[in-house]
Structure 1
Amino acid sequence: MTSAVDLLVKDAGLLVLDGEGEIPGGWVAVSNGRVTAVGTAGTEPEAGTTVSAAGRLVTPGLINTHHHIYQNLTRAYAPAVSGTLFEWLTTLYPLWSALDEEAAYVSAYVGMAELLMGGCTTSSDHLYVHPRPHLVDAEIRAARDIGFRFHATRGSMTRSVEDGGLPPRSVTQTVDEVLADSERLIKAHHDPTPGALIRVALAPCSPFSVTKEVMTATAELAERHDVRLHTHLAEDHDEDTYCLETYGCRPVEHFEDCGWMSDRTWVAHCIYPNDDELGRLAAAGVGVAHCPSSNMLIGGGTARVKEMRELGLPVGIGCDGSASTDHASLWMETRGALLLGRYRGGPGAMTARDALDIATRGSAQCLGRADELGHLRPGACADLVVWDLHEVALAGALSDPVEAWLRCGPARAWTTVVGGRILVDRGEPVLPGLSEALRDHGRIARRMQQQA
C-alpha cells in the first residue's frame, strides 16, 4: 500500500516552525512538495522516505535575498580586496566582461550547491553585467537542473563610464535592449503559481549605473506583469554624492521619483537613509536585504536593522556577491546579523531567534512569499534544514539549541530539503553534475583572471 506521506523528518532535538512556534522532539511530514503535518515524538505517520534528524536542530530553509553568483569566478581577487566599493567595482568590471553562457551556468551550479550546503533553500540572484545575451537563462537552467528554488532578478546597467557612470561599455546595454530582454525573460520563465521554483524580478543595478529612464520604465514594466523589483540603494556615501551631482537629490528621493516606493520592491544594503527616508521606506512597505559580511569587508557601514524592524520594514538576509563576501553561506550571514545587531545596539538588540526570523520569514516577505516560505506550518513549501554541529563545538551547550546553533558553530546543513526533495544528505550535495561543474568552473575562473 502506498504511504500518504512522501517524506518524514523525525527525531528533531528541536523543530522550529517559525518565530512563534517550536516543538521539542518534533517531526515534519511532507507530501507533494508541501508540509502536510507536524507533531511531537511518538505520533509520526508512516512515510515513503524517513530521515532521522538524530536530535539535531531542524528549521525552515534559509532564504537569500541578494546575491551575485557569477562573482564566484573572481573570489578573493587580490588586486581588488583593499579598495573602496567604487574602486573594487572598477577593478573587476573588465574581468566580468568575459562572462558568457557557459560561465553563467557553471558559476550558478556551483553557487547553488554552496548555498544548499549553508542551509539556503531559496535564493534570488542579481545578474547585472550582460556582455553577452541569455546569461540569466543559463542561471535558470542550472536551478532547474538542480531543483533549487530560484528568483532570478534581471539586472541591468546602461550608464557606462563614457556616460558618466562606473562600468565600461562592454558590460552595459541600451535602454531598449534592457526592456526587451526583461519582458522576454518574464514571459519565458516567470512562474506566478503557488509553490513555484522559478520566478523572475526586474533589477536595474544602482543609481550610478542606470539612467532615470530605465528605472521608471522598469517600474512600469513590473507593474504591468506583476513581478517584483530589486536594486541597490543607499549603499555608500559615494552614492549620495553621485545622486546629488547627477539628479539633484539624495538616492532615496531619486528612487521615489522613479516610481519604486512600493511594497513590490526590496533593496540591497540600505545603509545610509536618514530618519525621514527610513520612515518613508517603511510606510511604503519596501523590503531590505541586509548583507552583513559584504558590508563589513568593504568597510562601508551596516544597515540599522533593529530600527528598520521596529518601523515595520521587511528585513531579510543577503550574502551578496561571491567576490565581496567571498562565500555563500547563509548560516554565516545569519550569524553575522546576530553579531552586528548586538554590536550596534547592545546585547538585548538581537537574539539568535531574531536572526533566524530575519533569514526565514523576513526574507520570505522581501520576496513576496511569506505565505508559503520561511516557515514550516502545514501548507508551507517543504523547504527545511537539519543542522549539524560537531559534538566538540556543542560541548556544554545544553540550555538553548537555537542560541547554540549561531553561537557555537560552525554549523553546516546535514540535510537540506527543497520542495520535498533531499538535495544535501549527510552534509554532501546530492548533485550528479557537481564534479563536472567544478572542473569547468576552475578552467573558466583561471581564464577570466588571467586576462587581467
Structure 2
Amino acid sequence: MTSAVDPPIEVAELLVRDAELLVVDSGWEIPGGWLAVTDGRVTGVGPAGSEPEARTTVRASGRLVTPGLINTHHHIYQNLTRSYAPAVNGSLFDWLTTLYPIWARLDEEGAYVSAYVGMAELLMGGCTTSSDHLYVHPRPRLVDAEIRAARDIGFRFHATRGSMTRSVEDGGLPPRSVTQTEDEVLADSERLIWAYHDPGPGALVRVALAPCSPFSVTRSLMTATAELAERHDVRLHTHLAEDHDEDTYCLETYGCRPVEYFEDTGWMSDRSWVAHCIYPNDAELRRLAAAGVGVAHCPSSNMLIGGGTARVGEMRELGLPVGIGCDGSASTDHASLWMETRAALLLGRYRGGPGAMTARDALDIATRGSARCLGRDDELGHLRPGACADLVVWDLHEVALAGALSDPVEAWLRCGPARAWTTVVGGRVLVDRGEPRLPGLLEALRVHGAVARAMQGRST
C-alpha cells in the first residue's frame, strides 16, 4: 500500500530578484520584479513577494534588468586591427583597400582569439547573441575557429559564412589573397551548415550565408548562395546600399541599382537581412519592407565613416525588422551594444525630432528588432515565460544616476555609461559583477596581442 504525498516544490535553477525594474518585453515591465530560470528557459516572472525558491540567486537591487541585447552585424576579426591609423580617416573604399592586405594574414589562431576576446567584449556590453560576418578567407576553417570560441564560452552565436570572389584583377576591391573561387565558397558553405547549423529551439550555434557585398562577389555567386540557403533553410546576410560608390559600381557593372540587383539575384525575401541600408530610395524601401527584409542598423560605424545613416524611423513605420549592429572592430572600434543602442537613440532623435525615438524604442530595436532580423523573435529578444534565459542586469554608477528618479529605462540610455553587471546566456552567468567569467580570457588576450602586433607589422 502506498500513501499520497505532496508534489515536490519546484525550485528554480536561477532567480534574478529585487530589480528596480524588470523589462519583460515591449509594454510589459515589472517594478521590483523577479525572473526564474530552469533548463536555460525563463520559467516565470512576477512582482516582489511572489518569488520561488532557487538554487542560485542574483540580487539586482536598484538595477534595471532587460532582455539581452542582440548584435545583427559584426566583423569580429577586425579587433586585430582596431583604430588602424593609416585607414581611419578615409572613405569606405579607401578604408577597405588599405586593410585588405593586412587581413590577408588572418589564420585560425587569429580567428579564434579575436572571436574569444570579441565575445567577451560583447558580453560586457550586454550582448547575449551575436552574428558575425567573416568574409576574408585567406586560409581555410576560419569560421570553424570562431564557432569553437563561441562554444568554449557558451555564447549564442550566428556565424555568417562570408565570401568574396571578385578580386581587384576581376574589377573588385579586394586582393586575390583574400578571395576564393565560387566552387570553394559554395562547398565550404554547405560543409559549415552540415557541421554546425542547429535549427532546433534554443540553439547556441546557427549558420547563415553571407556574400560580402555587390562589389566583391559575382552575380552567379549571389544567385547560387540564395538557392543554397533555400535548400538548407538558412538565412542570408550581406551589405547593401551602404555607400554612394556602391550605387556607381552597380550601375556600371550590372546596369542597375544595388536594391534591384539584390532582387534580381533572388535575395528579396524574409530570409534576408542586410547591413547599413543607407541609400535605398523610397520605392526601394517599400519593396524591401513588402518582402520582409531585415536591416542591421550600425549607427557608430556609419557616423565614423561619415557616409550617412539609415532612415530607421521610416523603416519601422513600413514594418521592416530593424535591429542593431556594432559593425567591425576596425570601423566602430568597440563592440558595446549599449553604446550602439544609445547611438541609435541619439540618431533617431537627431533625424526625426525629440518625439521620433525613445529609450524604449531603442531597446526594442536592440532586442525584439534584432531577434526578428535573425528569425528568432519567438524565443529571443524578450523574457516572457518560455523564452531563452538571455538577460542583463545593468550597472550605472550612483554618481551618474544621481537625480535620475523617474524612469529607469530612459536613465539607462541617457545617463551612462552603463555596463553589464550580470550577463546571463541560456541560464548561465557569463559576466558577474562586471567581470567576464571566462577562464580562457587572460590567455586569449596574451595571444591576441601577439597576433595583432604581427598582423600590423609591429615589433612591440
Range into which the TM-score falls when normalised by the shorter chain: over 0.9
Q: For residues 47 and 24 of structure 2, what CA distance do their matches in structure 1 show?
A: 12
What corresponds to 1:146 in structure 2? Answer: 153
Offset at residue 19 of structure 1 (A): 1.1
Q: How far apart, in 2, do the equivalents of 1:28 and 1:148 lie? A: 21
Equivalent residue, structure 1, for 2:383:
376
DSSP-derived class of the 1:111 partner: helix
Is 2:33 aligned against 1:48? no
Give SS of 1:321's match. coil
- Alpha-carbon shift at residue 404 of structure 1 (Å): 0.2
Instruction: Return the offset for 1:55.
Output: 1.7
Which residue pairs with 1:209 in the alignment?
216
In the alignment, does 2:194 pair up with 1:187?
Answer: yes
For residues 20 and 263 of structure 1, what CA distance do their matches in structure 2 show?
25
CA gap of 1:367–1:78, structure 2 versus 1, over 3 A, is same
Q: Secondary structure at the match of 1:435?
A: helix
Give the distance between the partners of 2:55 and 2:246, measured in 1 at CA. 54
CA contact (8 A) 1:115 1:329 kept: yes
Matched-pair contact (CA < 8 Å) for 1:62–1:120: yes
Q: Where do 5+ consecutive residues of structure 1 fail to align?
A: none
Find the aligned partners of 1:442 and 1:300 in 2 and give their Cα distance: 31
Would you say the 8 A contact 1:222–1:229 is kept in 2?
Answer: yes
**Which deviates more, 352-361 or 442-451?**
442-451
- Asked if 1:27 corresponds to 2:34, the answer is yes
Q: Does residue 348 in structure 1 map to residue 376 in structure 2? A: no
Deviation track 1:84-119 (CA, whole Å, cap 9, x = no partner) reads: 000000000000000000000000000000000000
SS of aligned partner of 2:302: helix
Cα distance in 2 between the residues matched to 1:198 and 1:221: 19
Q: 1:93 aligns to what?
A: 100
1:111 maps to a residue whose letter is: G
CA drift at 1:20: 1.5
Q: Tell me how many residue pairs correspond in the alignment.
A: 452
Say whether 1:434 aligns with 2:441.
yes
Q: What is the distance in 2 between the residues matched to 1:44 and 1:106?
A: 40
Question: What is the DSSP-based 3-state SS (H/G/I as helix, E as strand, rest coil) of the residue aligned with 2:162?
Answer: strand
Residue number in structure 1 paired with 2:241: 234
* Structure 1 residue 187: Cα displacement: 0.1
Q: Distance in 1 between matches of 2:96 and 2:17?
A: 46
Counterpart pick for 1:391 among 380, 387, 398: 398
1:337 aligns to what?
344
Residue 303 of structure 1, aligned match among 299, 310, 314: 310
Runs of 4+, deviation exceeding 6 Å? none
**Are 1:405 and 2:415 counterparts?**
no
> CA offsets per residue over residues 290-312 of structure 1, 9 Å max, x none?
00000000000000000000000
Question: Matched residues in 1 for 2:411 and 2:253: separation?
Answer: 48
Q: Which residue of 2 aligns with 1:221?
A: 228
User: In structure 2, how many angstroms separate the alpha carbons of the residues matched to 1:393 and 1:237?
Assistant: 40
Counterpart residue identity of residue 424, structure 1: V
The percentage of counterpart residues that share the same residue type is 87
Identify which of 69, 80, 84 aligns with 1:77: 84
Task: Show CA shifts across 1:38-90 (max 9, x none).
Answer: 00001000001000001200000000000000000000000000100000000
**Structure 1 partner of 2:175:** 168
* SS across alignment from 1:357: helix
Alpha-carbon distance in structure 1 between the residues aligned to 2:399 and 2:208: 43
Matched, 1:128 2:143: no
- Give 3-state SS (helix, strand or coil) of 2:423's partner: strand
TM-score (norm 1): 0.99
CA contact (8 A) 1:95 1:451 kept: no
* 2:4 corresponds to: none
Counterpart CA distance in 1 for 2:285 and 2:458 is 42
SS in 1 for 2:106: coil
Deviation at residue 2 of structure 1 after TM alignment:
8.6
CA contact 1:3–1:48 (8 Å) conserved in 2: no
Q: Deviations over 1:157-209 (max 9, x none)?
A: 00000000000000000000000000000000000000000000000000000
Question: Following TM superposition, by how much is the alpha carbon of 1:18 offset from its aligned partner in structure 2, in angstroms?
Answer: 1.1
The Cα shift of 1:451 comes to: 7.1
What is the letter of the counterpart of residue 375 of structure 1? H
SS in 2 for 1:422: strand
2-structure distance, mates of 1:169, 1:4: 58
Hey, what's the Cα distance between the residues in 2 that align with 1:398 and 1:300? 38
The separation in 2 between residues aligned to 1:35 and 1:180, in whole angstroms, is 38
Q: Which runs of 5+ in 2 are unaligned?
A: 1-7
Secondary structure, aligned partner of 2:424: strand
Give the superposition deviation at 1:272: 0.1
In structure 1, how many angstroms separate the alpha carbons of the residues matched to 2:24 and 2:406?
Answer: 19
Match for 1:87: what amino acid? D
Q: What amino acid is aligned across from residue 216 of structure 2 in structure 1?
A: S
Q: Distance in 1 between matches of 2:27 and 2:251?
A: 44
Within 5 Å, which residues of 2 pair with 1:96-115? 96-115=103-122
Name the SS of the counterpart of 1:450 in structure 2: coil
TM-score by length of 2: 0.98
Q: Residue 11 of structure 2 aligns with which residue?
A: 4
SS at match of 1:155: strand
Q: Partner residue of 2:43?
A: 36
In 1, the alpha carbon distance for the partners of 2:195 and 2:217 equals: 24
Q: Residues 319-334 of structure 1: matches in 2 within 5 Å?
A: 319-334=326-341
Alignment counterpart, residue 374 of structure 2, candidates 355, 364, 367: 367
Matches within 5 A, 1:412-451: 412-450=419-457
Superposition CA RMSD, Å: 0.9
Give the deviation of 1:4 after TM superposition.
Answer: 2.7
**Aligned to 1:126, what secondary structure does the other structure show?**
strand
